[in-house]
Amino acid sequence: MEFVFLIPLLPLLGATVNGVIGSKLPKRAVGLIACLVMAAAFVVSICTFYKLMLLPATERSVVVSFFSWIASGSFSVDMAFLIDPLSALMILIVTGVGFLIHVYSTGYMHDDKAYWRYMCYLNLFVFFMLMLVLGSNYLVMFLGWEGVGLCSYLLIGFWYEKKSASDAGKKAFVVNRIGDFGFILGLFLLYWSLSDLGAGSLDYKTVFENIHNIDPAILTIIGLLLFVGAAGKSAQVPLYVWLPDAMEGPTPVSALIHAATMVTAGVYMVARNNALYSLIPHVGNIIASVGIFTALFAATMGLVQNDIKKVLAYSTVSQLGYMFAAVGVGAYGAGVFHLMTHAFFKGLMFLGSGSVIHAMGGEQDMRRMGGLHSHMKITSVTFIIGALAIAGMPPFSGFWSKDEILWEAFEKGHFVIWAVGLLTAGMTAFYMFRQVFMTFTGECRADDHTKHHLHESPSSMTIPLIILAILSAVGGIIGIPLFEEGTAAHQFLNPVFSHGEQELHSEAVHGGLELIMMGVSVAVGLTGIFLASLLYYAPMKKYAPSFWRPEAIASSFKGLHRLLFNKYYIDEIYDYLVVNPIKRFCDWCLSFDLGVIDWFVNFAAWATRLTAWASHKFDIYIVDGLVNSMSTLVTYNSSIWRRLQTGYLQNYALVFVVGVLIIIVRVLLG
Amino acid sequence: MALTLTHYLVLSFILFLVGIAGVLLRRNIIIVLMSLELIFNSVNISLAAFSYFLQNLNGTIFVVFSITIAAAEAAIGLAILVAVYRRRQTAYVDELDEMRG
Amino acid sequence: MPAGLNINFYAVMPEILVTALALIVLVLDLFIRKNKAALGWVSVIGLICILPFAAYTNEPYPVFGGTIIADSFSAFFNVIFIIAAIFTILISMDYLRKIGVDRGEYYHIILFATVGMMVMGAANDLINVYVGLELMALSFYILVAYRVKSSRSVEGALKYFVLGALSSGILLYGMSFAYGAAGSTNFMEIAGELGKGDNTYLTLGIILMAVGFGFKIAAVPFHMWSPDVYEGAPTPVTALLSVGSKAAAFAAFLRVFTAAFPAFQADWSSMLWIISAATMIFGAVVAISQRNIVRMLAYSSIAHAGIIMIGLIVFNDTGLAGVAYYLLVYAFMNMGAFTIVALFRNKGRFENIDEYKGLSTTRPLLAFLMALFLLSLAGIPPTGGFAAKFFILSAAIDAKYYWLASIGVVSTAISLFFYAKVIFYMYMKEPDPGAEIAPASGVIYNIVLFCTAVGTVFLGVYPAPFIDMAVKAVRPLLM
């Protein structure tokens, strides 16, 4: 445990070395440094995890404090890490998946001229992500929270010469800032209300011990504000708009930041605050509703996308929605479990899509792909494993985690959430296999030049794919309900969620029902796959009825298709409702400045000429001061008061002596 | 009539005010410097008077230090006056207003 | 003298060593005829060697008949003074050559000024405070006049001299009243005698002494000298004046008011309240309309003095520690800003803020560092300036001085205007075509800039150990 500081420090070291001297080093060395620090961090994480497992289950919550970070009056924050099952699982995911993606990046980004800069950012991102999950108080978490946002912005806009990339970076930054604003307001409110109780602290432990004393109304506001932060970071409605655009970044970045780790920070945060949210179940309901709505909403948009990465982006938003639905209904274990399996299979699919894009020479439109299976077998097979996992086919990992979420929702009586979740699962299976069929099967629709160059990716890219495919396939094991007390994952995570999670479903009666539910969700998934295959899989197409063809559907539901294809016009609506009004307001201010203020100034000049007996300047300054408000007032005062400084020594002495006299009179008489 | 502490303090206060008035009103730098000396000496009177009437030597010691420092101060003041006169050919404070605002 | 004479030279070792160094430099000046910068190096190396002695904390008991006290408080301030003196001497060597008065006495006068500051920090007796203050002030009168070829320098020196002598006369008058009322010049005895004597004399003494210290820290309305003197003086001297002299005056201010007059805290804190508020607002507001960068920094330093005074008014351990910490941070950030000004300012060029136009394209690194120092002065996180302001203002809020804290925040907000103006000129404006390019920084400047920048950032990112030190430093004052 004492070496836990190495986990974030190693990536920081890598980022520093690559950032400072990376441009002078050969690419091989840069890649080696970046990967080595990640591998080392992963090893330390495993050791930490192992040591944690050695402790008895009730004692698995260790705070390692390094130094007092900020201390001012009664307010003090330590730089300290909290190691418990939740953070241990998170560091394993972050360093493990992160390591694989670093290795993959050495192949994928090999020809980029700013290779060192990329590696530096990626390491830095991992550092901040680890601070986020390891911190034992809100401030350390916030440090990581802001840091990952910064790295995300830097990496989305990595190819900043491309306007769309830098625009997407800015959009991500601005939208995240809205969320962060909510988050920090929530923290202020939390600290403030705890200070009133005499327990002003940002330490998780102290906070959770005292939180039940806070007025529930204030607690509700805190919970909602924190959720605004989570919604921004984890791309939930209505703040999801940045994530699809974030696909402008390099594909490994999409895999690491915008699928596996950073976007799940919101889920982690809500899970970490389970003690808070369990006190305010109505906020949990709001979170679950927002989550499941996001899941459905994003899935519908995913149905019609043609960009290979956009499909994955919408599916990420949708899967994050599932996780929020889970943590919202109080099934924190299920949510975190889905977070983990999602990191495996979505990381895998993004890397797979990156491999495809690499082979296609940068082409991302699935309409120009097809038949890639024969050219790149490893990519194709691993991608299909990922698709099966996300579609919820047993025995792949996604099945166990998704099913657990649906089951818990059902069991806790949230039937609407269950039903929508099931529908979304069907859609997920549909669009994922639409993607598989369009990309890997059928005739290749690329031009001859691209076709000629089709090749499997280098081993630095395929090996991470294979490892992630294995994890996606078997990662669900810990979620199989073998034990009476629930799954292995539950057993492990339970101590963290002891405040939050309602008692477990161990009654045998439910066993049969649970099996039926599993059957239903598998059937729904299979239906989705079947429908997709009728539309897009060549050997199946001939069995499809005439109304079930892509063109036929598109033409008979023209309006709906256009709505989905244009992503509900959400960006346009935001432009109309938010961006344009602000622009118009700015224009209005400008015209106000030009018209009204200038008019006032002109009027003032005219009035001054007219009233020759009055002191000219006085009038201008008064009128000017009225219209230009504070800043002019200050500047005006400034120029008036500076005249006190006449330059004459004896005036200075006079001010001095008068000052002394005033003070003496004030003190002796007053 | 015996001289009491108050007599000395009033004398010191009057000299102090004369000194302040000199600094505030006289234009010639040399007279300003002399007025400053007057201020210091008025304080010395007050210190010495306190020392005598309190039967405590600290004040007398203070006066010795104060006179020494005032001498050093006068030397530096005159040196600066010479520098000013060389540079500006004037010994009047109201002609030194190059810096203001 | 109840404490007995108690002669202990270890207690005043730093002061003795710096005095000895000054005398060595004075003598060496006679032998080194050409390369006077060598004297600067001797002084710098000597000061660096003395620094560990100065930082060493003696047992906090009065020595020399109770006139001197060498405790963690004086050690903390000794470090500030010596660091400030080191930086000043380093940037002076090149500067003196530039203005063509490369003379040896400059260095030992700076060292004597430093001794004066150190005596002020360690004094436990009115006589010692006065002697230290005069030693510092007399040295500064000479240093301000050091650009003898410039009419502004001598004008500034005369203004500083006349007003400074006036203020020390008033301070001395205040001391005489305090002595008369309490019957002693020793702080502890004064504190012990309180209530027995005539309190009108004592109140008068307290007011007049506050005026004397207020002059040295440039508090409104006793600030009038500072813009003119700052502008006229050689820039390194200005830097030392704004950092060292202010810190020394605050050290003595704190010591006198906490050790000798704690019982009158209610009286003097309401008086200082008004001075502090006026200083914060006046300094920030008038700085806005300044075109000369040194005058701008002078008014900014007035505003800072007002904010630092909050800590004294609050008068609890966090407030006083805030003063000490603020002055430490201020030593780094203000020294850094003045180093860049000293580097550029030459023969009437780079006097005005608009001459910093487009500096980011011609001297990107220097522009960045200048921006860093200015942002720190403005109190933007993650710099030391932010930590210091935060510390002092939160102490004020804790002690329920809400109005004072709000005025501090308003002053900080206003001050952002003029700091940002410089940054705006450096980064948003194109340089004038044909304008002379700003000089590059040499090795010595780079060392100073590096140290000050590292200090500025480090004190902001990881303030905890230094705040701890500041808290320890002020502990003897509250005993």
Interval C387-396: pLDDT, tens? 999 999 989 9
Interface of A with C (CB under 8 A): 67-75, 631, 634-635, 637-639, 641-642, 644-645, 647, 649, 651-653, 655-656, 658-660, 663-664, 666-668
Same domain (yes/no): C196, C179: yes
Cβ neighbours of A25 (radius 10 Å): 16
pLDDT score at A191: 87
Give B-chain residues touching C228 at CB under 8 angstroms.
99-100
pLDDT at A508: 41
Top-confidence residue, A485 or B58: B58
Tens-digit pLDDT profile for residues C112-155: 999 999 999 999 999 999 999 999 999 999 999 998 888 899 99
Q: Does C138 touch chain B (CB under 8 A)?
A: yes
Same domain for C183 and C308? no
Residue for token pair 């959720």: A227
Q: Which of C214, C239, C260 is the last residue of a domain?
A: C260
Alpha-carbon distance of C271 to C356, in angstroms, equals 40
Query: A296 and A317 in contact (C-beta within 8 Å)?
Result: no
Residue of C nearest to B64 (CA): C127
Q: Which domains does chain B have, with CATH numbers?
A: 27-92 (1.10.287.3510)
Sign, CA dihedral A107-A29-A252-A321, equals positive
Instruction: For residues C181 and C315, state if they share a domain.
Output: no
CA distance C293 to C238: 12
Question: What is the C-alpha to C-alpha distance for residues A267 and A269, in angstroms, rounded to an integer?
Answer: 5
| Same structural domain, C192 and C275 | no
Question: In A234-390, which residue ranges form alpha helices assigned H by DSSP?
Answer: 242-245, 251-255, 265-272, 274-277, 281-302, 308-328, 332-359, 377-390
| Burial of C249 per CB tally in 10 Å (0-12, 13-18, 19+) | buried
Question: What whole-number distance in Å separates Cα of residue A432 and Cα of residue A389?
Answer: 10
Domains held by chain C: number: 2
Q: How far apart are CA C222 and CA C215, in angstroms?
A: 5
Q: Which of B93, B96, B101 sits opposite A642 (nearest CB)?
A: B101
Domain span at residue C333 reads 263-479
Query: Which of A639, A650, A656 should we substitute to test contact with B (largest number of B Cβ atoms within 10 Å)?
Result: A650
Q: Is A452 on the interface with B (CB under 8 A)?
A: no
C156 closest CB neighbour out of B16, B42, B99? B99
Q: Examine the fold and report which residue of C228, C260, C292 is the final residue of a domain before the chain moves on.
A: C260
Residue B37's pLDDT is 95
Closest Cα to residue C392, out of C250, C223, C209? C250
CB-defined contacts A:C, below 8 A: 94
Q: C168 with C291, same domain?
A: no
Peptide bond into A8 cis (omega under 30): no
pLDDT of residue C431: 83
Let me know whether C67 and C179 are in one domain: yes
Q: Are residues C321 and C229 in the same domain?
A: no
Other CB atoms closer than 10 Å to residue C11's CB: what's the count? 23
pLDDT at C1: 43
Interchain CB distance below 8 Å, B93 and A654:
no
Which residues in chain A land under pLDDT 50?
Answer: 500-509, 619, 623, 625-627
Both C407 and C277 in one domain: the answer is: yes
CB A500 within 8 A of CB A401: no
Q: Are residues C177 and C207 in the same domain?
A: yes
- Do C163 and C90 fall into the same domain? yes
Is C133 found in the same domain as C105? yes
Rounded distance, CA C477 to CA C255, Å? 7
Q: Which candidate from A71, A72, A655 shows the least CB-CB separation from C224?
A: A655
Sites in chain C below the pLDDT cut of 70: 1-4, 58-59, 195-198
Residues C386, C238, single domain; the answer is no
Write down which residue in C226, C260, C294 finishes a domain. C260
Average pLDDT score, chain B: 92
